[in-house]
Structure 1
Amino acid sequence: MPRLSFFEGVFSPMVRSWKLVDLGLLDYAHAWRLQHACVEQRRRGLWSHDVFFLVEHPSVFTCGRRGGAEHLCVPPSILDAQGIPLFSVERGGSITYHGPGQLVAYPIVHLHSAGWKAVAWVTALEEVMIQTARRFGVEAARDPRNRGVWVRGKKLGSIGIAVRSGISFHGLALNVINDLEPFGWIHPCGLADVAVTSLALEARTMLDMQEVKEVFTACAQAVLGVCFERMDLSALQLDRGETLHGRP
């Protein structure tokens, strides 16, 4: 019998298989190009499968479709001095920060084929983070102020997706053991006076990122109703010989 997943009170058979690729520590520009290449593969019908990327990024700020550069609270020279780039991208939301010790997930998913509508998909990604936090004894929840997950008014995880030709990309970022100081240089997600926290701080213990990844992927399988097939990036067989460093 297939395993069963549970999300918002509805059981569904876990029959879909998605590729799971752990990219390790990878700079944002390369991961962004990789997402575009994968969306193009799916759009052109060269793939029939969906892909779930896990990654950590070197320090970077990104702005979404709602902008966000105006919510940078330090002079750009500070970012330049620290060697931290700022990207404007097509995901939803405003400004946020990524850095080592933060778990980022980029699911490349054909929503209709997978049985998701965009709003429900975002809610499901939030649920993955909520369930992951719970496994470490942290009670996270949603907040009407902003999508993502929160712990006692502090933001623990962010969501920002884009949809092109029915294919969702970008995704979520869960603070695990990352340095939170750079969040003080912005109004996170465009919200002033918002505190940011991490899973390690809330659990009041040291956490191992690999263990968190294993828990996170187990929660993702259960919530999303999928079975992950782990594979290396090279096995994705991007068309036209595209590689991690290729152009979208």
Structure 2
Amino acid sequence: MSVVRPGTVPYPTAWDWQRRLASARADGSLARDLVFLLEHPPVYTLGRRADRSNVLFDDATLRQRGIEVVPVDRGGDVTYHGPGQLVGYPILRLSGMRVVDYVRALEEILIRALADVGVTGERSTGYTGVWVGDQKVAAIGVRVSSGRVTTHGFALNVHPDLADFTGIVPCGISDRGVCSLASLGVDVTVADMADRVEAAMAEVLGATLEPASLDALSPLSSKVAS
């Protein structure tokens, strides 16, 4: 499984990469699964069932804070991505795994990565993601194509600006909060957590993870680079 860590990438660019690579994975022109581990500039994304009223900031405030709003094709409601948050986009061809099992696997990966820095992350009945008490530390939202290839993924709050979460009802859940590793008193970088997520992903998925660059994603390298 290839691991691509391109740094900070505008959300629309990363979404385009996902769609192109998922199509290639489905038709076999991309030979192996991969995962992007990256950060985004501030953005609110609206899932297919999102209620636009869950974006609380008005247009002027969004412009002032530099937050983009992007409707996307994943499940779920509204969520936030921004600097200080580790975002993971696995492009996996599921074989013999139900979508719900895949989501549980992503949760397990994050729970193990959190445990490695002394944080007890938990599942919460009726919700996706990983929680510390009644505060969400990692969100999950996925899409599985007709070719059984995954896009979208997870977002782990390492040290984002939590004030940006006040502009939405995160995931449409109004009676729970959001936390980060920084707010829990854990001093760790996004790169450190990416290392831990890679290790947990290898364990949970039973995969060998190998670093790769965008240029190495043949046959899509020219398209992705453009």
**TM-score, normalising length from structure 2?**
0.95
Q: Give the Cα–Cα distance (whole angstroms) in 1 for the partners of residues 219 and 6 of structure 2.
A: 15
Contact 2:117 2:186 in 1 (8 A): no
- 1:205 and 2:205 aligned: no
Secondary structure class of the residue paired with 1:43: helix
Q: CA deviation at 1:126?
A: 0.6
Contact 2:3 2:209 in 1 (8 A): yes
Match of 1:7 in 2: none
Q: CA deviation at 1:66?
A: 1.3
Match of 1:127 in 2: 108
> What is the identity, as a one-letter code, of the residue corresponding to 2:196?
V
- 1:78 and 2:61 aligned: yes
How does 1:99-138 map onto structure 2 within 5 Å?
99-112=82-95, 115-138=96-119
> What is the identity, as a one-letter code, of the residue corresponding to 1:201?
S
Q: Give the Cα–Cα distance (whole angstroms) in 2 for the partners of residues 182 and 123 of structure 1.
A: 27
Secondary structure class of the residue paired with 2:31: coil
- In structure 1, stretches of 5+ residues that fail to align are 1-17
Deviations 1:95-138 (A, max 9, x none): 000001100000000001xx422110000001111111111111
Aligned length: 225
Which residue among 43, 46, 51 is the counterpart of 1:63? Answer: 46
Contact 2:21 2:220 in 1 (8 A): no
C-alpha RMSD over aligned residues = 1.4
Match of 2:149 in 1: 167
Which residue among 176, 182, 185 is the counterpart of 2:158? Answer: 176
Q: Give the Cα–Cα distance (whole angstroms) in 2 for the partners of residues 236 and 244 of structure 1.
A: 10
Q: CA deviation at 1:240?
A: 8.3
Q: CA deviation at 1:48?
A: 2.3
Report the structure, 1 or 2, having the larger strand content: 1
Q: Give the Cα–Cα distance (whole angstroms) in 1 for the partners of residues 90 and 35 of structure 2.
A: 4
Q: Give the Cα–Cα distance (whole angstroms) in 2 for the partners of residues 111 and 105 of structure 1.
A: 17
- In structure 2, stretches of 5+ residues that fail to align are none
- 1:88 and 2:71 aligned: yes
Which residue among 189, 195, 198 is the counterpart of 2:177? Answer: 195
Contact 2:30 2:218 in 1 (8 A): no
Deviations 1:142-190 (A, max 9, x none): 1124200100100100000001121011100000111111111111000
Same amino acid, percent of matched pairs? 37
Match of 1:9 in 2: none
> What is the identity, as a one-letter code, of the residue corresponding to 1:140?
G
Structure (1 or 2) with the larger CA radius of gyration: 1
- 1:53 and 2:36 aligned: yes
Deviations 1:53-82 (A, max 9, x none): 101001000011111322011212211222
